[in-house]
Structures are given as structure tokens and as C-alpha cells.
Amino acid sequence: MLKSINEIKQEFINTDIKNINNIIELYLNDNRKGVQNIIKSYKNKFIKYEQEVLRIENMKKYEQEAYLQNKNFVAGIDEVGRGPLAGPVVTACVILPKDFNILGINDSKKLSEEKRKELYIKIQENALYISVNMEDNKTIDNINILQATKKSMLKNIEDLKQKPDYLILDFINLDTNIPYISMAKADEKSISVAAASIIAKVTRDEYMKEMDKLYPQYKFAINKGYGTKKHIEAIKKYGYCPIHRKTFIKNYLN
């Protein structure tokens, strides 16, 4: 009995994208326009899937090179929040298993909030070790944002239950005896750093949403502490609140 187009469509929907070519073969000779449209659509989805698999594989390059040197625990470290006018800088350190293959991992800035949250859960479930640290606005004002970021990252390393053999950093140098590589846009090039950026970003965003409840006039849930036009207008109108970085906002308080 000939299956309806809706039945075939459901069959495609229920098939793992990795195996989609098998089901495409079954219906290649079905000349109904609806079936051919389904096949065309899923061929395109499979191409995108293959491209994503390749992208993720390329993001493992630096981890794989470290594994070949018997560095079994490779940690990616990244920060979120160096630029905002308010709130902490948040850093995360992540050690992934060698067979980590979660698709969609990328620099957190390139992901939607919904996608970041989805990947945050998957990273939490699959990572070997994770540490997260915050340095607040007072520390940032006292020692400057760069030093606060470095301090937070060193605390990340201390807090890990497993000492890393190797570090991958996003364009920052640390005073540590652990060998590392530091490069620009590491959150786009290294899967470990990308995972760390997602953990740090979601953590900081959730923190700023909580701060929004305490200081609603600044709209922290929306701007996350960054210097948007409305945020700056609020600073000029209300002055600073306890989580503002005074060294960052002094020019707005004249």
C-alpha cells in the first residue's frame, strides 16, 4: 500500500539525520511532488549537518594536538563581561572528554540565548570538569579589568578537581606553570574555549537578571550591564548602584 505524503514526512522527521540518506534512497523513485520536496529539503539538511560535523571536528584541532603530546586533561578558559559598565567579570574553565561531539558549540556571542541555554545544559552533563568564578565590580575598580580577569582565571584553575595538563586561552597571558597556548578568537577555534564561553555567558546573564530585580531602573535583564543608550541615560538620572564599575562610569556622572 502506497504511503501518504504525510506518513513519509513523519518517517523523515523520526529518522536521525545521520541516517537520513538511507531513507532518501527508499523514496527516490517516488515521483510525487510532495515526496520530492521532502527529499530535497532533507538533502539540504544533511549537507548542513555534514558541514557542522566538519566545523566541530576542526574546533578540536588544538585539543587533539595536546592529546598527542600526552596532555590528557586539556582545559579551555574564557571570560565574559570585560566591557560592561556594571556587574562582574565571569570566567569559566572546562575540561571536555576526548570524544565530546556535541554539535552547535561555538563562541557564545554567535549563539541565541535559547541555544546557549540548551548547550549549557549539555556541557554541564558531558564535561569532565567545570569551574566558574566571578570577580565583582569592586575588584575590577581596585585592580583593573585585565588583572581581575586574570585573577578569576587563576582561581578557575585552582578550583578544578583535576589539575589540567594544558590550557587553551583566548588572547590572554597567565602567570602559571601549566603550559598553554593563547590566541585570538580562541572561542571560535577551540571547542573547549567555546564551551567555557557558553558556561560563562549563561552564568553572567542569569546573574544580571537577578540584579535587575534589585535595581530595575537600569534594565540589567536587557542590557546585561553593557553601555546601551538607555543604560547610560539611567546612570545620568539615578547615579550609580552597588554593582556599577565606578572607574567605567565616571565620565557619565559629570
Domain extent, residue 135, equals 61-200
Q: Are residues 72 and 47 located together in one domain of the fold?
A: no
117 occurs within a structural domain: yes
Asked if the structure places residue 212 within a domain, the reply is no
Q: Within a 13 Å sphere around the CA of 219, how many CA atoms are in the beta-carbon half?
A: 12
Please check whether residues 100 and 196 belong to one and the same domain: yes
Calculate the CA 19 to chain-centre distance: 28
Is the domain of 191 the same as that of 70?
yes
* In a domain? residue 140: yes
Q: Answer yes or no: pTM beyond 0.85.
A: yes
How far apart, in Å, are the Cα atoms of 190 and each of 10, 70, 139, 206? 37, 18, 29, 24
For residues 109 and 179, membership in a common domain is answered with yes
Residues 35 and 69 in one domain: no
Are 40 and 101 within one domain?
Answer: no
174 falls within a domain: yes
Q: What cell numbers appear for 35 in the block?
A: 515526496
Residue 219 placed within a domain? no
β-sheet bridge partners, residue 134: 90
Same domain, 45 and 137: no
**Same-domain status, 123 and 162:** yes
**Domain containing residue 72: CATH number:** 3.30.420.10
39 part of a folded domain: yes
Q: In the chain, which residue ranges form alpha helices assigned H by DSSP?
A: 5-13, 20-27, 33-58, 61-68, 113-126, 137-143, 145-159, 186-189, 191-214, 220-223, 229-238, 246-249
Give the chain's length: 254
Judgement on whether residues 70 and 88 belong to the same structural domain of the protein: yes
What is the C-alpha R_g of the chain? 23
Domain boundary among 178, 200, 222: 200
Q: Which of 27, 42, 58 is the last residue of a domain?
A: 58
- Structurally, the chain folds into a number of domains equal to 2
Q: What is the pLDDT along the chain (254 residues), one digit of tens a residue?
A: 789 999 999 999 999 999 999 999 999 999 999 999 999 999 999 999 999 999 999 999 999 999 999 999 999 999 999 999 999 999 999 999 999 999 999 999 999 999 999 999 999 999 999 999 999 999 999 999 999 999 999 999 999 999 999 999 999 999 999 999 999 999 999 999 999 999 999 999 999 999 999 999 999 999 999 999 999 999 999 999 999 999 999 988 86
Domain end (from 19, 43, 58): 58
Report the distance separating Cα 129 and Cα 95, nearest Å: 5
Any domain includes 52: yes
Does residue 229 lie in a domain region? no
43 and 110 both lie in a single domain = no
Residue 43 CA to residue 99 CA, distance in Å, equals 27
- How far apart are the C-alpha atoms of 122 and 170, rounded to whole Å? 22
Cα-flanking dihedrals φ and ψ of residue 78, to 5°?
A: -150, 165
Walk across the sheet containing 129-135 and list its strands: 129-135, 89-95, 74-80, 166-170, 180-183
Q: Are residues 126 and 114 in the same domain?
A: yes
Same domain, 20 and 116: no
